[in-house]
Amino acid sequence: MTSYFVMISRVVCFAAVLLLLRLPGFSQDAGSRTEFFPVHRKQVKKMPKPRRLWVFFMAGQSNMAGRGQVEPQDTLSSPRIITLNASNQWIYAKEPLHYYEPNLTGLDCGMSFARTLLADVPKKLTVAIIPCAVGGSSIEQWLEDDTYRGVTLLSNFKEKVALAKQYGTIKGILWHQGESNSKPDRIPNYEEQLQMLIDTFRGITGNPKLPILIGELGSYFEPSEAQKNSDAINAIIHQVGLSDPNVRVITTADLHPKEDKVHFNSAGQREMGRRFAEAFLGIK
């Protein structure tokens, strides 16, 4: 009987430790960022017919690449949501989708976008979400096809587009970028550059009316000068959106950051995904 109570006590203590590790503010080890990263990702053995596969690309910098905390709900796969891995193999999607910066990557908005979209499209459709975003990349680097953090930005996008065209229909691009350009000497050129990049994306995909979904920069930057610059980029994004019937801008003013005051937190990433999906559905 004594040994039974000892065993129960140990179980209770272990459970209490696990609970403490999840309490806000409780110190965890450096590996906590990857605590819920999936260990196994299943390869797709039978692809859907091309007319039933809708392909979307995620491009931009770190808030599109994702820095949120991945939680169990983000790693639930669906037979109707697929992506490409680092070897360009089709796999069933789980967060994190991006893999270019393994020491930084976290939750992005891709799975939330796909799940929201699937609720409003025919049940025979499959959605592919292709990650192409690289943290810290500027719009100049995208336009000039620079190699940044080991990724040649526009060439990588072209490669993924060429592959996707073999399997499905490219339906849109999710773009979130601008933090690297939110500086007084760069802001005046941003509108022209953004329009050039939209034209470039559409030229590569072969669709001059391809929907481009753009997310606002956050409204949580400090000090106030940084927020002023962010607001200036957002004003440009909205101006571009007003001039193009196939561009939609999603608001992020009510979304919250992580402790770093730079990146959207997990709730913000999931909400962005929902808003991107709603914006796309509004174009159709």
* Averaged pLDDT, 183-191: 98
**pLDDT for the residue numbered 273:** 98
d(CA 71, CA 51): 33
* Averaged pLDDT, 208-217: 98
Q: Look at residue 186 and tell me whether its pLDDT is greater than 60.
A: yes
**pLDDT for the residue numbered 22:** 41
Q: Are 150 and 100 in contact (CB under 8 A)?
A: yes
* Averaged pLDDT, 35-59: 97
Q: Look at residue 176 and tell me whether its pLDDT is greater than 70.
A: yes
Q: Are 250 and 270 in contact (CB under 8 A)?
A: no
**pLDDT for the residue numbered 31:** 54
Q: Look at residue 107 and tell me whether its pLDDT is greater than 50.
A: yes
Q: Look at residue 52 and tell me whether its pLDDT is greater than 70.
A: yes
The larger pLDDT score, comparing residue 284 to residue 34, is at 34
Instruction: Give me the DSSP letters along 80-115.
Output: TEEEE-TTS-EEE--S----S-TTT--B-SHHHHHH
* Averaged pLDDT, 146-153: 98
**pLDDT for the residue numbered 130:** 98
In this predicted model, what pLDDT tens digit does every residue of 221-243 receive, in sequence order?
999 999 999 999 999 999 999 99
- List, in order of start, the domains of the chain with CATH numbers: 42-283 (3.40.50.1110)
**pLDDT for the residue numbered 284:** 65
213 forms bridges with which residues in the sheet?
174, 248
Q: Are 153 and 134 in contact (CB under 8 A)?
A: yes
